[in-house]
Amino acid sequence: MKISLRSGRRSVAGLPGKLKVVGVVSGELTEAGQELDAAHSGLLSKALKTSRFKGEEGAFLVVAAGDVFLGLLGLGQKRGVSTDRVREAGARVAKKALELGVREVAVENFFAERLGKAEASYALAEGLYLGSYRFDRYKSEARPVRVRYWIAKGRGRAVEEARILAEATAYARDLANKPPNVLYPETLAEEAERLAKEFGFEARVLGPEEIEALGMGAFLAVARGSARPPRLIHLVYRPEAPRRRVALVGKGLCFDTGGYSLKPTEGMRYMKADMSGAAAVLGTFRALAELRPPVEVHGVIAAAENKISGSAYVVDEVVRTMSGKTVEVANTDAEGRLTLADALAYAGREAPDAIVSIATLTGSSVVALGRKVAALFATEDRLAGGLLEAAGAEGEKLWRMPLERSYRKLLKSDVADLKNVGTREGGAIQAALFLTEFVRDPYAHLDIAGPAYQREDWELGPVGASGFGVRTLARWLRSL
């Protein structure tokens, strides 16, 4: 799918397009809708009178006007206008365009008078791009498709910035959607190197011997059961005169069987996307290449597979991490935190001003927050506030969870410094507390186990990887 986003100075009626979409608010045509209605001899107002369409949010009515489709999109009521509503409206337009098979679409800049033309253009453009996403490269009947969207009376700079972040999100989606026989530690590292070469980043990839030399016993233990060796990926975006230095650490489990603490069959489905944290870090780097914020950014990914073999790690092993701390393995399916422990220690060597990790870490976060909201843990209010603000602006839902220090005792081990799991109750909190053992403040962790992979069509895309976190991290980095 090739997406082109353009801002047009004219109204929807005066722009090209086989599909022209205007809004219906509180049951009435918007001003742009009235203009389009007049240009087509009252066809839209007649359709409103004779159909059951009332303009409920998300409802769509399409009217044929010769060789052009006229679309009425329900925008709900006038109250409660937000960028989220505009972003989701854009995605609905994109889905309808794909359904109709049209390749050029003109869209009203929804709620521009309430939000401002730039803000509305930004949200609408993101929605159009993300709603157009499809992952069909492994379908034999798939054909290249190009769609051009015109945003009426849009703001070109806002549309371009939205394109950058949406394209980076789509890139992260592509990575996490790839099957595990295509994307594994070696090929993920090759993709990181390709990205670095294309956009001018520094890149370093370490193999098993180099990883062992660093003392990453926890990371190597997780990777031991797979015939495919692990890779440690380190990317650096280094602008001139950076104001701050930040490290982003992404979980890179390319497939997770659970190891000897084996997942059931249904629980193993979609584990190709257990590297969604790594995909988010790489997607963020792709955005950095065009946004160019004055912040030095280190991206660290411990890429591995958690599989079963005669050499796989088992329950009751004690592993030594890069930090020197030892960990008793109480559950081999709590592998992500072991790989992150070493990746976080490695990232800390760069003495960053802040470290943010992002991972599909715990089922507990899904139980607590569902599949649309990610859990945020942070050791500092300022860092948490910046991430929450960025997420809110991008429509990626974060909820701050407590780092309840009294739960630290649940990770106490009789034979090592700590164990990798505690109790089922408060599991997401305990996982985050485990990670804080390997970093210095300020530190934040995003547990994206819920929103990283959607099991059904959703507001901003189809079934599959969502690319969650890319837009939040990129916006946050720009704010520093």
Q: C-alpha angle with apex 153: 147 to 159, nearest 5 degrees?
A: 55
Q: Which residues contact 5 (CB under 8 A, 6 or more apart)?
A: 125, 128, 129, 149, 151, 159, 160, 162, 163
Annotated catalytic, 153?
no
Radius of gyration of the chain from its Cα atoms, rounded to whole angstroms: 24
Structure tokens belonging to residue 265 = 């069959």
Largest CA distance in the chain: 81
- Nearest to 378, CA basis, from 358, 348, 349: 358
Residues 22 and 36: beta-carbon distance below 8 Å: yes
Residue from 65, 60, 150, 39 nearest 105 by CA? 150
In this structure, what are the phi and psi dihedrals at residue 246, rounded to the nearest 5 degrees? -130, 145
Six token digits for residue 204: 């370093």
Backbone angles phi, psi at 7, to 5 degrees: -100, 135
Helices (H), 292-422: 336-348, 363-369, 381-394
Q: Is 328 helix (H, G, I), strand (E, B) or coil?
A: strand
Report whether 327 contacts 319 (CB < 8 A): yes
- Could you say which of 134, 263, 325, 478 is catalytic? 263
Q: Closest by alpha carbon to 161, among 291, 26, 301? A: 291
Which residue is associated with the tokens 């365009």? Answer: 97
Q: Is 337 tagged catalytic?
A: yes
The answer to whether the CB of 327 falls within 8 A of the CB of 438 is no
- Of the candidates 224, 307, 337, 475, the residue annotated as catalytic is 337
For residue 393, give the amino acid letter: A
The interaxial angle of helices 156-177 and 117-131, nearest 10 deg, is 30
Phi then psi dihedrals of residue 232, to 5 deg? -105, 120
Show which residues are catalytic: 263, 337
